[in-house]
Chains A and B, each alone.
Chain A
């Protein structure tokens, strides 16, 4: 695929995303002209681009959509739910068409084609049903008897029509230069719609003098387009020197038309007729202009002043027209400035940079270590400045990959809208924390699991309207998406205010599936989290949205693949909340270095809460009293079966994950350390408690602890001990034993 096409595809996808979000906004604010303009601009840009790359199937379809949007802008159509649905459908279809183009196919396949035709027919239906005629109607009548497109009162001297008049006479040598004059006209047509065209052949001489390779043609064109004058001129760039081009903007003053008629080589009566035929002027306007011209001729004798000059005195330039032009220009330059601030960079170049920064971090740590060993104060100082800079570079490099989650969230507006329509429920989506940033790779992969959770909430979470009213809730259901940062992870919540999960049903199903034993006592939390087990669905009726029982376990697997966890909490009658926790980034972390015997381990610094000394332990239980709270802990020495004597003083690093705290007992604390995560090889994939490895400044390898897994295994093993002793587990510990790594 050539570069221009791939750029077009990329840009169109962005335009379509914007168009979709604007369309959704249209339902809330049907009268917001900025919004309608934004939609129109998006469609128009896509169409224009399609013309440039000669992708006619996209161009043709988008053109029809644009007609409707134009009618919306002019106020000839009003926004109705049916219309928005249709436009959203068109937007989807355009996405599909772009994909067809991206796949390198020549045109849409049968089914897609049929879909496009259905949509086109519906679009046409809207246009036909419009009061006052459609803008595309190419008839002479369109000029005078219709309301003007731009808000201009019928001020004297302004020819009321909303289309450009383009007049072109091609020079003799155009065709010899290898250019077909008609191809420019075809291209011009792609800017908008040619309402009417007249081919001027008057310049063709008699046969003997006529050189068939010279060009004698001219065209008078009524063009309806939203392009600027510069855009129209650009069409003729290649022949600018060899053609006479005149462009009259919409609502030009009558005098300008007359001036135009006068300046052209052809007979002015004939030209006048042509303009009338084109729909540029009405007969009455033409006659008025020509009679005034004659009058002027009579007054001045032979040398007639340009007609335009006479007429200028009679007319005033409409201030609104000027204002509109200024606003338009400001918009264009704004957009250009915004584009200039952005640079597109290949994702793998960015990855390469991050890799290099990772190496830099390691090398910096090594230099730091050597400097400290050398005990040269100057050197230590120099390296510490260096390492601070490296740290900044690291943060800045990682920041490059960070994107806001808002775009991902906004996609769900559409899902919620469509699904709620389909289900006949009234549901609104509430988004918060859209500005929360996370790594691009994570964002890309979180879309599918989120989609499933949202659909699940829509389908099963929110009750039917009647039931909601019965329960004393507002008729309109609410699904909310929220994101925030929490100790080195990002938390994404999908919450609904529906009926909550049916615990009895889940428990019964779990027994039926053999997931739990009958009579087994589980906490509420454990019960609801059973839905993440494979093959679990409590819905009796399978809908086409969710409930096929292949969902939640896949969701959990996908999230676990990102080193994240998912968890559900449910309150009967008030709704359920799914909580996804993901690591912020996949590459570099701030670590806390600890030692056991001679080995070094890294604990992600974000999870460390505090460090305390381990002493005065009364029992053999892995459990201590920390300021009145029970703190379970784990001894790394025991966990990894490290030989050697326990030193007289051990320390506990208190870590926190997903709201649970646990202690990790180590021999020594070695301080902060920037860590580049190197993934473990496939051989070690099944290791529990280790998240990766890293290289220390000294060249030694240190293992990175997977705090999430450790915390869970600690709480779980304590829980089991309690259960064995027949005690009920403290609520704090039973928090989340089922979603482990």
Chain B
């Protein structure tokens, strides 16, 4: 079932779309063991978006599944970097300098 193509998120990861996104992301997770997220289309991201990604990770962990973010847009990677969450997500991301050391 891991042959699923990455889920391309095109909505902004913001509070305005949080309800829709939660459903969309959880639905996507429900049908696969290994969810791949392509966030390269995400133009905006705020704290609500960050929460959703964390939630998704936690849900996946609980169910023994995996979530991977395979592509980041600038907005996503800079927010994750700012919040120092790159390690948490464990995805290939431009690694911030202080983590590298």
Contact = CB atoms under 8 A, between A and B. Distances in A.
Interface residues of A, number: 24
Contacts of B79: 182
A249 B84 CA distance: 22
A198 B51 CA distance: 14
B68 interface: no
Interface stretch (A205-213, A228-236, A676-684): A205-213
Contacts of A181: 47
A138 B18 CA distance: 33
B54 A204 contact: yes
A392 interface: no
Contacts of B62: 206
A197 interface: yes
Contacts of A212: 18-19, 21-22, 48, 51-52, 55
Which size class do B's interface residues fall under?
Answer: 20 to 34
Interface in B86-101: 88, 97-98, 101
Nearest to A184: B47
* A contact face: mostly helix, strand, loop, or mixed: loop
A582 B52 CA distance: 72
Contacts of A213: 15, 18-19, 48
B83 A210 contact: no
A197 B83 contact: yes
A182 B54 contact: no
Contacts of A215: 47-48, 51
Interface string A56-91: 000000000000000000000000000000000000
B101 A182 contact: no
A199 B58 contact: no
Interface string A358-373: 0000000000000000
A190 interface: no
Contacts of B51: 201, 204, 210, 212, 215-217
A215 B49 CA distance: 11
Given A182-B46, A212-B21, A207 B98 contact: no
Contacts of B15: 175, 180, 213
Given A201-B54, A207-B26, A182 B84 contact: no
A625 to B, nearest CB: 89
Given A207-B26, A213-B15, A180 B46 contact: yes
Interface in B13-29: 15, 18-19, 21-22, 26
A207 B58 CA distance: 9
Contacts of A196: 84, 98
Please name the 6 residue pairs, one residue from A and one from B, whose CB atoms are nearest each other, closest first: A212-B18, A212-B22, A199-B83, A181-B47, A201-B54, A180-B46
16 contacts: A139-B101, A170-B47, A181-B47, A182-B82, A185-B82, A185-B83, A186-B82, A196-B98, A204-B55, A207-B22, A207-B26, A207-B55, A210-B55, A212-B19, A212-B55, A213-B48
